[in-house]
Structure 1
Amino acid sequence: MKKAILVLEDGTIFEGSSFGMEGDVIGEIVFNTGMTGYQEILTDPSYCGQIVNMTYPLIGNYGVNIDDFESSKPQVKGFIVRELCKSPSNWRSAETLDHYLKKNHIIGIEGIDTRALTRILRDNGTMNGMISTDVESDVNKKIEQIKAFTINNPVNEVTCKAPYELKGDGFKVAVIDLGAKLNIVRSLSARGCNVHVFPAHTGAKEIMEIQPDGIMLTNGPGNPKDCESIIENIKILIDSGIPIFGICLGHQLIALAHGADTERLKYGHRGCNHPVKDVTKDLTYITSQNHGYTIIESSLNKELAEVSHINMNDGTIEGVRYKNKPVFTVQFHPEASPGPKDTAYLFDEFIQAMTRYREEKA
């Protein structure tokens, strides 16, 4: 394998070997604490614009299969591992991770101290970086390019380009695709829903025309405050009285639509082992997460909203229920992929909310 370097915007340099495609790539460096699930992580649209560092040391040991994709292609800008497994062993494996990244033009680096990198990000916060196989060029010029990098409107990049439908005999659900993982749609379909998926910037009027029984706002990448037009549409949808379930970015946008505020976390929550307490049930679940922003609790209007879930590591908000409308949201991923399915009950609560809505309309 060819020699490669990882350069951080603070000037830190790690030396390793390249895999996947060769070249240069700049992105926001984040870390994921999952022991498995790299295929789902690579294809999660919420990672748009980011280079993912895996904290678990051996990655690629079960290869890549045709079943576990969360979108049609890898969404990460680059991939960092301690050790790449070159000879995977799994009955579902169709190709190696190296081959998959080469095929999809994604640059990776292995053989660096991923533990040291993670400590830097935890101590100093998320920062930009570059993976490069051009190890002879001027590093100072690379750092200038790295510092200039920004992620602009990534939701526009990952949302579906046109509406589509997955037919079912049950409730009609309008899914606003902010960068949806496929398992969100699968989870609704598994419960018999007739799922209509809309691009992120679809107007509220067009969504209301299908007369949905419920509305789902999905996960997605970027700063929630950049989604101003989407927030205005959400305000109209909230006023309709239709049950709404928000996940991840959808959770943040619904809070902003209610007048709350969000802020960037120092290094985010990314992994499939994050403990979250359901305040109502007084139970703690292990959850799958991927986000860099959180709702500021003091900004929530207590007359309109109550915190339903909290992160047991840092106390940040992980769920909100709204008192005046049938609207509830969570920061984590109840559809998992990767991660435990402990919180899949929230999809069942969404079904119950749509049942009540239909009964009230009848």
Structure 2
Amino acid sequence: MSKRQIVLEDGTVLIGNGFGSEKDALGEVVFNTGMTGYQEILSDPSYCGQIVMMTYPLIGNYGINRDDFETVNPFIHGMIVKEVCDAPSNFRKEESLDTYLKNNSIPGISGVDTRKLTKIIRKHGTMKAAITSLEHRAEEVLEYIKNKPLKRDQVSHVSTVKPYVVPGRGKRIVVVDFGMKHGILRELTKRSCHITVVPYNCSAEEILRLKPDGLMLTNGPGDPKDVPEAIEMIQNILGKIPLFGICLGHQLLALAAGADTDKMKFGHRGSNHPVADLSRDKTFMTSQNHSYAVKATSLVGTELAVTQVALNDRSVEGIRHKIHPAYSVQYHPESAPGPEDTSFLFDEFLNMTAQHEREGLYA
């Protein structure tokens, strides 16, 4: 392996061994605390534009298989690990992590002190970073990082360009793709839904023309305020059909209803985040991946109520509309990777669509 370096915006330089693609990469460096699930993390469109560091010290030991992808093409900009496994062992393995990264032009760096890097991010927050060869002087790379802004149109890069249908005999659900994980489709098809996936900039009129029983707002990358067309669409949909938002969809629902969002210091990324459900008086373990959160104070005076909170930092993890059939969660109930404690939320969504239909018949 060739020697490579990762240079952070604060001037920190870590030297390690390169794996995967030999190309240079610029992105926002974040950390994920999951012990497993690196394949799903690599293929999660919500990581678009980011360099992901895995805090678990050994990554790649079960290889890459055909079944665990969350999208067809990965959008992650790079990967940082303590140790990468060169000889994975698993009955489903089809290639190594190194080979997969090479084939998808994603650079990786191993042999760095990931514990030190995690502490830096926790102290100073997420920041820009670059993975480069040692041929580039660290001072030059740092100057490049500081002068090169990160793209803010990630959703347009990861969303589907044209609508498509996943046929089913059940409820007709329109899914707005902001960077959708395939796990969401798996949960809906498991429940026999007839699914129409539409682009992020689809208007309310176009959606209502499809006569859906419900609307799903998916996960996706970046700042929700960078998707104003989606906020306007939700405002024109509320009250007309039931709505369920996940992750970025949760933040967009909040903005559409008059609340606010802000960027977290280092976000939530991992498979073991405890969330308290206030109405059920229960705690669920959840899979999370987000940099932004709904501001709790901004919900005062809106028609939104908090339904769930994170036990680690008390941030808002769930909201519901007090008048219209709409609710959302900040975490990923479809998991992949992670616990499946909250997959029942998809059943609740379909129950809500059925109730809305009954009320419409007798209105």
**TM class, shorter-length:** over 0.9
Q: Distance in 2 between matches of 1:361 and 1:228?
A: 30
The reply to whether residue 201 of structure 1 matches residue 201 of structure 2 is yes
Q: Deviations over 1:108-154 (max 9, x none)?
A: 00000001000000000000001112x03222221122122312210
Query: Contact 1:218–1:249 (CA<8 Å) still a contact in 2?
Result: yes
Aligned to 1:275: 274
Aligned to 2:288: 289
Q: Distance in 2 between matches of 1:301 and 1:11?
A: 40
Deviates more, 1:172-181 or 1:295-304: 295-304
- What secondary structure, in the 3-state scheme, does the structure 2 residue paired with 1:328 have? strand
The reply to whether residue 150 of structure 1 matches residue 141 of structure 2 is no
Q: Distance in 2 between matches of 1:354 and 1:68?
A: 30
- What secondary structure, in the 3-state scheme, does the structure 2 residue paired with 1:306 have? strand
Letter in structure 2 aligned against 1:85: C
Letter in structure 2 aligned against 1:11: G
Letter in structure 2 aligned against 1:127: M
Query: Contact 1:63–1:95 (CA<8 Å) still a contact in 2?
Result: yes
Flag as ranges the 4+ runs of structure 1 deviating above 2 A: none
Aligned to 1:259: 258
Counterpart mapping for 1:213-224 below 5 A:
213-224=213-224
Letter in structure 1 aligned against 2:46: S
Q: Distance in 2 between matches of 1:160 and 1:348?
A: 25
Aligned to 1:311: 310
Aligned to 1:163: 163
Letter in structure 2 aligned against 1:137: H
- What secondary structure, in the 3-state scheme, does the structure 2 residue paired with 1:40 have? helix
CA drift of 1:303 comes to 5.4
Q: Distance in 1 between matches of 2:291 and 2:136?
A: 32
Q: Deviations over 1:259-299 (max 9, x none)?
A: 10101000000000100011111100110000000111111
- What secondary structure, in the 3-state scheme, does the structure 1 residue paired with 2:131 have? strand
Query: Contact 2:7–2:13 (CA<8 Å) still a contact in 1?
Result: yes
Aligned to 2:345: 346
User: Percent identity among equivalent residues?
Assistant: 52
Query: Contact 1:27–1:149 (CA<8 Å) still a contact in 2?
Result: no
Aligned to 2:248: 249
The reply to whether residue 140 of structure 1 matches residue 112 of structure 2 is no
Q: Deviations over 1:57-102 (max 9, x none)?
A: 0000000000000000222100000000011111100000000000
Q: Distance in 2 between matches of 1:301 and 1:259?
A: 10
- What secondary structure, in the 3-state scheme, does the structure 2 residue paired with 1:253 have? helix
Q: Distance in 2 between matches of 1:303 and 1:140?
A: 48
- What secondary structure, in the 3-state scheme, does the structure 2 residue paired with 1:36 have? coil
- What secondary structure, in the 3-state scheme, does the structure 2 residue paired with 1:30 have? strand
- What secondary structure, in the 3-state scheme, does the structure 2 residue paired with 1:27 have? strand
Q: Distance in 2 between matches of 1:190 and 1:298?
A: 37
Aligned to 1:100: 100
Q: Distance in 1 between matches of 2:136 and 2:248?
A: 38
Counterpart mapping for 1:80-91 below 5 A:
80-91=80-91
- What secondary structure, in the 3-state scheme, does the structure 1 residue paired with 2:205 have? helix
Q: Distance in 2 between matches of 1:239 and 1:89?
A: 51
The reply to whether residue 115 of structure 1 matches residue 115 of structure 2 is yes
Q: Distance in 2 between matches of 1:96 and 1:232?
A: 44
Letter in structure 1 aligned against 2:320: R
Q: Deviations over 1:37-71 (max 9, x none)?
A: 00000000000000000000000000000000000
Aligned to 1:53: 53
Letter in structure 1 aligned against 2:132: S
Q: Distance in 1 between matches of 2:326 and 2:259?
A: 15
Letter in structure 1 aligned against 2:258: G
Letter in structure 1 aligned against 2:284: Y
Q: Distance in 2 between matches of 1:280 and 1:168?
A: 32
- What secondary structure, in the 3-state scheme, does the structure 1 residue paired with 2:216 have? strand
CA drift of 1:305 comes to 1.3
Query: Contact 2:181–2:219 (CA<8 Å) still a contact in 1?
Result: yes
Q: Distance in 2 between matches of 1:301 and 1:46?
A: 29
- What secondary structure, in the 3-state scheme, does the structure 2 residue paired with 1:179 have? coil
Aligned to 1:8: 8
Q: Distance in 1 between matches of 2:169 and 2:270?
A: 34
Query: Contact 1:151–1:222 (CA<8 Å) still a contact in 2?
Result: no
Q: Distance in 2 between matches of 1:302 and 1:186?
A: 37
**Structure 2: gaps of 5 or more residues:** none
Query: Contact 1:168–1:189 (CA<8 Å) still a contact in 2?
Result: yes
CA drift of 1:302 comes to 4.8
CA drift of 1:361 comes to 2.2
CA drift of 1:229 comes to 1.4
Query: Contact 1:216–1:245 (CA<8 Å) still a contact in 2?
Result: yes
- What secondary structure, in the 3-state scheme, does the structure 1 residue paired with 2:238 have? helix
Letter in structure 2 aligned against 1:151: K
Query: Contact 2:152–2:223 (CA<8 Å) still a contact in 1?
Result: no
Corresponding pairs, count? 360
Query: Contact 1:84–1:110 (CA<8 Å) still a contact in 2?
Result: yes
Aligned to 1:44: 44
Query: Contact 1:44–1:75 (CA<8 Å) still a contact in 2?
Result: yes
CA drift of 1:192 comes to 0.9
Aligned to 1:327: 326
